[in-house]
Amino acid sequence: MKRISTGTENFKELLDNNYYYVDKTSLIEDVLSDKVMLYTRPRRFGKTLNLSMLYYFFSNKEKENSYLFEGLNISKDKEILKHQNQYPVIFLTLKDMQYLNFEDQKKQFAILIKELILKNIELLDSSIIDEADYNILNDFRFLKPDEVQLKNSLKILSNCLYKYYQQRVIILIDEYDVPLQSAYNNGYYDEMVDFLRSIFSSALKTNDALERGILTGCLRIAKESIFTGLNNFTVRSITSQYACDCFGFTQEEIDDLLDYYDLINKRDEIKDWYDGYLFDKTEIYNPWSV
């Protein structure tokens, strides 16, 4: 019998350790429906786990882990499987950008970019990367970037990955709104809006190396504030009729889970306690609660 995990956010860890997994691979099909997708959901609805799943599906560095998707819903779609492990992927989470002032936030972002450089260290050993880009990557590596470099960091890195792999890049950004919440609470909101607007615009709008961009967060920030001018940009909020069942558990999924653990007699009790969300017209349970 499979165990139940609480708080595991790494897709590979969840499946390799034989934890019960509620199949959300249908999200893969939805993210391919537009160039840039933003998914907003409340806390504890599996956003990070879903992005981890997308990373393992799309990343060209995870071909040895393609077995993770065997038997899952997406494995039945031969057209979608053509995208499996085909792209360089930048996976960035902004959950730790919760500092009290703007300068510390920029320092934290520089650390995040350094970590991405180290995960793609092959770029620094390649003759394909020209001297100018090499020097900029090294500035990030040794935490010496200026603010202009920071604002263009994701674009610079994706362009280098594109040159190296000759394949456009997928950018995954988790908890994109956390820095804005901290900025709002601590009096530097306008500075942070300008900073993130520049990052997102360069990475997701004026970036020929971009294949797809997928963002998640709790809040839907006005498009005019940080997503100005983005084309092919789709928001999947809790009121959207699409991807309603990609985050959280549906009643059918709860029934399957209860049946698996021989607890179906608790169905009505669990429904009374935890059936508290409606995404468009779909009843959804919070996974953390159940």
Span 97-129, pLDDT tens digits: 999 999 999 999 999 999 999 999 999 999 999
Please give the domain boundaries of the chain with CATH numbers for all domains. 12-236 (3.40.50), 249-285 (no CATH)
CA angle in degrees (0–180, nearest 5) for 23-27-29: 120
pLDDT at site 148: 95
Q: Do residues 251 and 244 make contact, with C-beta atoms less than 8 angstroms apart?
A: no
- CA nearest neighbour of 154 among 198, 123, 189: 198
Indicate the residue type of 218. C
Q: Do residues 285 and 244 make contact, with C-beta atoms less than 8 angstroms apart?
A: no
What average pLDDT is seen over the chain?
93
Handedness of CA 59, 63, 64, 67 (dihedral sign): positive
In the chain, what is the straight-line distance between the N-terminal and C-terminal CA atoms, in Å? 18
The pTM (predicted TM-score) of the whole model is: 0.95
The pLDDT tens digits for 189-208 are 999 999 999 999 999 998 99
pLDDT at site 222: 60
